[in-house]
Structure 1
Amino acid sequence: MTSIKIKRVYEDFEESDGYRVLVDRLWPRGMKKENLHYDLWAKDITPSSTLRKWYHQNMDENWEAFVSAYQKELDNVPDMGSYIDELKKHPVVTLLYASKDSTHNHAIILQSYLEALLEHAR
């Protein structure tokens, strides 16, 4: 079964990261493309620009609503099956995100969502 980890893009690459997936819609600030080791940039499974901007207006108060809204967006990703098929090929997948907040970010939501889909796809 695939293990899904999350990690900030600014942390050093490690072989144990396995298949590395960038899960930010925008390229991370200050990161040169040649310096980021990633295998896939999955823009389609990131929060929409509208949702991301709304959440950042008041992150503390908007967190619960953001979780719910983002999960609904994920439910409607047309190619989610293709992402799951790709992730199943790898024993370890690391989702790379840029947020400074390690406890309230979309990668945590996405990790949980993908783990549930992978479990169901067994």
Structure 2
Amino acid sequence: MYTLIRVYDYQVGAIPAVLADRLWPRGISKARLAQVLWAKDVTPSTALRQWLHTNPAAHYTEFCQRYRAELAQAPHQAALNQLRRLHAQHCGLILLSAAKDLQHSHLPVLAAVLANTTPT
């Protein structure tokens, strides 16, 4: 199971966590997330992220398609496989982001790709 949590709400636990943001979250010390893997290699490109933020409601569906296409490219496969291995070893993985609206962020797409499913 992939669990999506805002990084600001995260409490260290038994299940490993991955910060899936390209930029380090404001107000969060690196010491607080010392046990968290920072997976910048599985985040949307800067251009795609900025494009989404210009009109999130109108662009989200197309953003999901474009982000899936980015993740399908070879450079992302090693990082995705690393996350899949972590998930298999611990029977779960927490995906963290500073996004205010997690359900309309890149995390549901990433979780679906990791699980080989289509997000709803």
Query: What is the CA distance between 1:37 and its match in structure 2?
Result: 5.0
Q: Tell me, in whole angstroms, the C-alpha distance in 2 between the residues paired with 1:98 and 1:6.
A: 11
Query: What is the CA distance between 1:32 and its match in structure 2?
Result: 1.3
Q: TM-score, normalised by structure 2?
A: 0.85
**Residue 70 in 1 paired to residue 67 in 2?**
yes
Q: Tell me, in whole angstroms, the C-alpha distance in 1 between the residues paired with 2:95 and 2:83.
A: 12
Q: Tell me, in whole angstroms, the C-alpha distance in 1 between the residues paired with 2:103 and 2:63.
A: 14
Contact between 1:47 and 1:70, CA under 8 Å: does it hold in 2? yes
- Give the AA of the match of 1:54: W
Query: What is the CA distance between 1:39 and its match in structure 2?
Result: 2.7
- Note the residue ranges of structure 1 that are not aligned, 5 or more in a row: 118-122
1:75-117 C-alpha deviation (Å, 9 max, x unpaired): 1124133332333222121000110013200011111111127
Q: Percent identity at matched positions?
A: 36
Query: What is the CA distance between 1:35 and its match in structure 2?
Result: 2.0
Q: TM-score, normalised by structure 1?
A: 0.84
User: What number of residue pairs does the alignment pair up?
Assistant: 114
Q: Secondary structure at the match of 1:112?
A: helix
Contact between 2:99 and 2:105, CA under 8 Å: does it hold in 1? yes
Query: What is the CA distance between 1:14 and its match in structure 2?
Result: 4.6
Give the one of 58, 63, 66 matched to 1:61.
58
1:95 alignment counterpart: 95
Q: Which moved more, 1:107-116 or 1:43-52?
A: 107-116
Q: Tell me, in whole angstroms, the C-alpha distance in 2 between the residues paired with 1:106 and 1:62.
A: 12
Contact between 1:22 and 1:97, CA under 8 Å: does it hold in 2? yes
- Note the residue ranges of structure 2 that are not aligned, 5 or more in a row: none
- Give the AA of the match of 2:99: S
